[in-house]
Amino acid sequence: MRVDRRWAGGAAAALLTVTSLLWAAPSVAAPTATAPTLTDAVTAKLLGTARTAAAGAQPDTRITVSRSSGRWAFGTAVAVAPRQEDAHPTGSVFIARADHAGWRIAFDGEAAFAELAAESPLVSGAERSVLTTTPTPMYAGGDYRTGMALPFGVGQTWTLTSGPHGWGGTESPYSSIDLAGGDQVVRATRAGAAYTMCRGWIRVIHDRGYSTDYYHLWNSISVNGASVGQGAVLGNTGTDVTCGGAAYGRHVHFGLRQNSAYVPIAGHDIGKWVLANGSAAYQGGARHGSAFAGVGGGLYNYGALGFNQGVVDANGGGVLTRRAGPGTGYGSLGSVADGATVTISCSANGTSHTGRYGTTALWNRLSDGSWVSDAYLSTGVNGPVNGWC
């Protein structure tokens, strides 16, 4: 099967591309004559972190300096992948500062990147609020909240064409999913600063250390740190492989990153669906309440789950009883349906119950004053999400 690289609707003229720009070190506060040029230094760092499809192979690299002033530079670094299945490009947004010893270079998500972003005159105020976020391994600590919607319009249903898999294919971690359908318009899952990595590939850097990647886009926007809101248009689903890989049938290859690396997407709530791995790459699916959608199933975009909210998972359907206090000994105040979104005011310990994810004595006081067992809520955190009562 060949890769279909035709542009739909004659949209080729509207495509905006990123030019590979090789930039020499500035004369102001430049490194010593024996130090590498900026391009060489960025390339060396990129190749030290890039994964290649074949061991020992050195990929083509594209270093783009989009901004420079004095001893500062800002841009993107991409390692192009082979044009084959189970291969995707890797890359980073970088900030560089020259001194007498050479170039200090940091990639997005690294602690040094936040430090340089705080100092650099090339970073706008809107960008700085996002780029200076201190990286912390939140998901490793049991916090899987993202505040993200799915990468298409809220209220639409798209097809999950591939379940969790690696950004490059079958490798771990399974950071990515493929989606297609609806109006084919790909949108930012959460507000942030957007960057064009190459034609067809957009990265949005969000708060809390997260960033999201969108690849194979047709009509991808051309951006260099522009502030985008949740739902901002990034392009259309497509089969673009300008930076390598393969695409059969138009879709968006969506990947989740945290602290400069792709991270497991399973367990994270995106669009009020919790992603789940299968027995192998490209399998698995997503769960909303007790409902599960596997590969080929439809995902309805419910929007972002708030950091103090949860989705009712009655572990088999039905309803969840609301109580007057944190335990089954308190009177019933009605019920809430499986899959409903609830807002949590605070939490306390009460009677123990066993739900899909185990046994807990934690109860949550909802915004209407009633209480429900945390065993039947999906919040993204194994514990209180809004403090203790």
The predicted pLDDT at position 137 comes to: 75
Q: Are 74 and 120 in contact (CB under 8 A)?
A: yes
The predicted pLDDT at position 232 comes to: 98
CB atoms inside a 10 Å sphere around CB 346: 15
pLDDT at 219 over 90: yes
Question: pLDDT (tens digit, 9 = 90+) per residue, 25-52?
Answer: 333 445 543 457 999 999 999 998 764 4
Q: Is the pTM of this model over 0.75?
A: yes
pLDDT at 119 over 90: yes
The predicted pLDDT at position 133 comes to: 80
Determine the Cα–Cα distance for residues 348 and 384; give it in Å rounded to an integer.
Answer: 8
The predicted pLDDT at position 312 comes to: 98
pLDDT category at 314 given cuts 50, 70, 90 is very high
The predicted pLDDT at position 317 comes to: 77
Share of residues in the chain with pLDDT > 70 (%): 89
Question: pLDDT (tens digit, 9 = 90+) per residue, 350-381?
Answer: 999 999 989 999 999 999 999 999 999 999 99
Distance from first CA to last CA of the chain, Å, rounded? Answer: 59
* Tokens standing for residue 60: 């083509």
Q: What is the mean pLDDT of the segment spanning 182-209?
A: 97
CB atoms inside a 10 Å sphere around CB 98: 23
Give whole-number Cα distances, 124 to 119, 128, 205, 302, in Å: 11, 6, 14, 32
Query: Among candidates 85, 71, 2, which has minimal Cα distance to 38?
Result: 71
Question: pLDDT (tens digit, 9 = 90+) per residue, 60-116?
Answer: 999 999 999 999 999 999 999 988 888 899 999 999 999 988 999 999 999 999 999
Query: Among candidates 108, 83, 105, 87, which has minimal Cα distance to 96?
Result: 105
Query: Among candidates 370, 340, 374, 343, which has minimal Cα distance to 356?
Result: 374
Determine the Cα–Cα distance for residues 37 and 26; give it in Å rounded to an integer.
Answer: 9
The partner residues of 94 in beta bridges, in order of sequence, read 75, 107
Q: What is the mean pLDDT of the segment spanning 258-286?
A: 96
pLDDT category at 56 given cuts 50, 70, 90 is low
The predicted pLDDT at position 50 comes to: 62
The predicted pLDDT at position 25 comes to: 35
pLDDT category at 285 given cuts 50, 70, 90 is very high
The predicted pLDDT at position 23 comes to: 35
